[in-house]
Homo-oligomer: A and B are copies of this chain.
Amino acid sequence: MTQAKALKALTLVFAGFSGLGGIGPATLSPSVAVAQESMPASSASVDATSPDGRTEISLATANGQPVYTVTRDGKPLIAQSKLGLRFASGANLDRGFEITETAADSHDETWQQPWGEKRTVRDLHNEITARFTSTDDGPERSFTVRARVFDAGVAFRYEVPDTGERALVDEITEFAVEPNATSWWTPAGEYNRYEYIYKTTPVRDIYRVHTPYTLKYDVEGADGPYLAIHEAALVDYAGMWLDQRRAGVLEAELAPRHDGTKVKIDGAFKTPWRVIQIADTAAGLVNGADIYLNLNAPNQLGDVSYFEPGKYVGIWWGMHINKYTWGSGPDHGATTGNTKRYIDFAAENGFSGVLVEGWNIGWDGDWFNNGDKFRFAEPYPDFDIEALSDYAANKGVKLIGHHETAANLPNYESQLDAAFQLYRDNGYSTVKTGYVADASDLVLEDEEGFRRYGWHAGQERVVHDLNVLKKAHEYGLAINAHEPVKDTGLRRTYPNAVSREGARGMEFNAWGSPPNPPEHTAILPYTRLLAGPMDFTPGIFDLMPNGEDNENRIQTTLAKQLALYVVIYSPVQMAADLPENYEANPEPFQFIKDVPADWETSIALDGEVGDFIVQARKDRKSDDWYVGALTDETARTVSVPLDFLDDGRSYTAEIYRDGEDADWQTNPYAITIESRTVTAPDTLELPLASSGGAAVRLVAGR
């Protein structure tokens, strides 16, 4: 092929690209050779290696184009990929550069989370920085790429000096991955934000996906490694989607601002970290996910002890199954009487919170298109907020607030102080926010008062969310955002960002059309949950909430519902079903009453993306351990070596597992609850039914 016209065919050549995961750089496939032919390696490059010596990132230029590559055990993982930024005006930072300064650093720090999936986090990494400086005759321009290499993956960010007020229009960061790798993804840039059933396809079949985007390099019989591409510290920037414009070459695509630009810049700025998690196993991805926390700045809020992790019930599922309405009327859910009933139930069963939705003015009529109707400091007349907060306080329970905004940001922002003051006055400490809207219809307002529309994870929304967190902190409130911007580890910096939605949660099982498939919760731990806590709202005991509609039944067993409390981490964990369904099933309900929502440490023991997971966590307030295991539609028995228990100590294992003939389709309620004494050398064998699960409490003996 001629050097010239060959370039037109570059995509096609990439289409023949395979085997990247399984072969060394000396035998790169012809496709890679062609890609590099058009972009020869520069003489100046700078490398950094992970503490365990296995992963290496290299920063360089190729024909003046800043690039990077990543290898693992000497084999290519991310082929040569572009770096750069383009603007609506002034000089771009993309071509015509050379590396003029480099620096290296190592870092080993241990820090603590006020609450979390683990108390102590170690931040051990090596760092390099490369200063890229322009080589042309024009005014000199430069920027820095800072890269960190952890055992759990690599990360890099751009640091750009002050060039005045400009609009960033394109971050051209590429991730050149193996196009035939299997991957798990949800589509980005679509109506329902992040709330989609996961698809499992080769990389080459994606168009635009959300992060974390998880890949398994399984070509030519390889069994890994596993990668997850995501970002950390998304602050005053736009959320990153990944677009595939050539086979295997993913490009950062930033969610647009209302005017089509991507990021409004004024002065020096740093981008979020672009993170490539790397692990030998699927469970390894889960265990390495504190990389995102390590890439965020330390706590900037200080004391957030107003928030305590806990479990809650709520007037919420009743709306989804048409028992109650959000709006006013005869079936209004958020009445004073009904709320007292929930407070009573919470108090009797050890729950610390009661969520009430539909309590404030604005729900009547077409709120979806009229978010400006919401009044966040005006309860419906049949919701006596003062009386209820007294009632709750007397029972040792707190109400959890709810602010549905319909993604109308100016309407919410104009009422934030009044809204938060009302909650503070009434003893609330947590607020669930909501931004239900078409992903491209975030309602904004310009300086002249005209309505503008932004994107769900565009810069305007990112900034809004951060402002809400800061304002909430002033009022001693924690935020649990639904229809959120994706989690990028900001809870380290703003630890009142306690949980969020950001994936298909339990609510989709109320609506059907279709419900979450059996594999859904066997994919979440390796994708969405890598990013951080999720308010999934587990614990539905009536698995046919829409009556005898078998097609739309909830596609799990009862035991799997219990397993979710350990598998899915959230410091606010809901018992989502109606109180009467718990009262009717006290034995399995006991596990929900027992399971904590705050952990000393967490270990993913085993699993495979989309197939199963076995997760162990240790209570932060006792020496007890908990194990959750769940499977997709395939029944399987998982072996759980208990070597994480204290040596020489005996534990009482309270096991909630699928019954003998359990099956999500034919016999979902069959559950066996049994107790036995175990020690560290023991191995639990947990039989999981089709879409089944197991939940184990390991009570430490004296």
Tell me whether A260 and B262 are in contact in the complex, defined as CB-CB below 8 angstroms, given that A15-B513, A189-B243, A511-B12 are known contacts.
Answer: yes
* Residue from B7, B88, B451 within 8 A of A368 (CB atoms): B7
Whether the Cβ atoms of B327 and A4 lie closer than 8 Å is yes
The reply on A13 being an interface residue by CB < 8 A is: yes
The reply on A520 being an interface residue by CB < 8 A is: no
- Closest B residue to A434 using CB positions: B8
The reply on A222 being an interface residue by CB < 8 A is: no
Instruction: List residues 1-26 of chain A with CB under 8 A from any CB of chain B.
Output: 1-5, 7-13, 15-16
* Residue from B5, B7, B246, B513 within 8 A of A12 (CB atoms): B513
Q: How far is the CB of A655 from chain B (nearest CB, A)?
A: 36
Which B residues touch A10, using CB under 8 A?
191
Which B residues touch A508, using CB under 8 A?
9, 12
Tell me whether A5 and B326 are in contact in the complex, defined as CB-CB below 8 angstroms, given that A12-B508, A258-B88, A261-B260 are known contacts.
Answer: yes
- Once the chains are docked, how many angstroms separate the CA of A478 from the CA of B13? 33
Which B residues touch A245, using CB under 8 A?
189-191, 438-440
Whether the Cβ atoms of A4 and B325 lie closer than 8 Å is yes
The reply on A52 being an interface residue by CB < 8 A is: no
- Closest B residue to A320 using CB positions: B5
The reply on A448 being an interface residue by CB < 8 A is: yes
The reply on A92 being an interface residue by CB < 8 A is: yes
- Once the chains are docked, how many angstroms separate the CA of A680 from the CA of B618? 87
The reply on A446 being an interface residue by CB < 8 A is: yes
What bracket does the count of chain A residues touching chain B fall in? 35 or more
Whether the Cβ atoms of A167 and B259 lie closer than 8 Å is yes
Which B residues touch A452, using CB under 8 A?
86, 88
- Closest B residue to A451 using CB positions: B92
The reply on A105 being an interface residue by CB < 8 A is: no
Whether the Cβ atoms of B5 and A319 lie closer than 8 Å is yes
Tell me whether A88 and B259 are in contact in the complex, defined as CB-CB below 8 angstroms, given that A38-B366, A245-B440, A453-B170 are known contacts.
Answer: yes
Q: How far is the CB of A625 from chain B (nearest CB, A)?
A: 37
Instruction: List residues 558-602 of chain A with CB under 8 A from any CB of chain B.
Output: none
* Residue from B91, B170, B258, B322 within 8 A of A2 (CB atoms): B322
* Residue from B167, B187, B322 within 8 A of A260 (CB atoms): B167
The reply on A106 being an interface residue by CB < 8 A is: no
- Once the chains are docked, how many angstroms separate the CA of A322 from the CA of B326? 70
**Copies of this chain in its oligomeric complex:** 2
- Once the chains are docked, how many angstroms separate the CA of A269 from the CA of B12? 40
Whether the Cβ atoms of A325 and B451 lie closer than 8 Å is no
The reply on A394 being an interface residue by CB < 8 A is: no
- Once the chains are docked, how many angstroms separate the CA of A436 from the CA of B6? 11
- Closest B residue to A358 using CB positions: B4
* Residue from B8, B208, B244, B368 within 8 A of A38 (CB atoms): B368
- Mask: chain A, 142-182; 1 = CB below 8 Å from B; 0 = not: 00000000000000000000000001011000000000000
- Closest B residue to A251 using CB positions: B440
Tell me whether A187 and B169 are in contact in the complex, defined as CB-CB below 8 angstroms, given that A38-B368, A259-B261 are known contacts.
Answer: no
The reply on A120 being an interface residue by CB < 8 A is: no
Q: How far is the CB of A409 from chain B (nearest CB, A)?
A: 16
- Mask: chain A, 609-653; 1 = CB below 8 Å from B; 0 = not: 000000000000000000000000000000000000000000000
* Residue from B1, B86, B207, B514 within 8 A of A207 (CB atoms): B207
- Closest B residue to A262 using CB positions: B260
Which B residues touch A367, using CB under 8 A?
4
If A12-B192, A260-B260 are given as contacts, then 7 extra A-B residue pairs at C-beta distance below 8 Å, sorted by A number, are: A4-B319, A13-B513, A189-B245, A190-B246, A245-B438, A260-B261, A260-B262
Complex A-B: 19 CB contacts under 8 Å: A2-B319, A3-B327, A4-B319, A4-B325, A5-B436, A11-B191, A15-B514, A63-B366, A86-B452, A88-B452, A89-B259, A169-B259, A189-B245, A191-B246, A245-B438, A245-B440, A257-B260, A259-B260, A260-B261
Q: Which residues of A contact B (CB under 8 A)?
A: 1-5, 7-13, 15-16, 38, 63, 86, 88-92, 95, 167, 169-170, 187, 189-192, 207-208, 243-246, 249, 256-262, 319-320, 322, 325-327, 358, 363, 366-369, 436, 438-440, 446, 448, 450-453, 508, 511-514
Closest 7 CB pairs of A and B: A260-B260, A7-B368, A207-B207, A88-B259, A12-B513, A191-B245, A260-B261
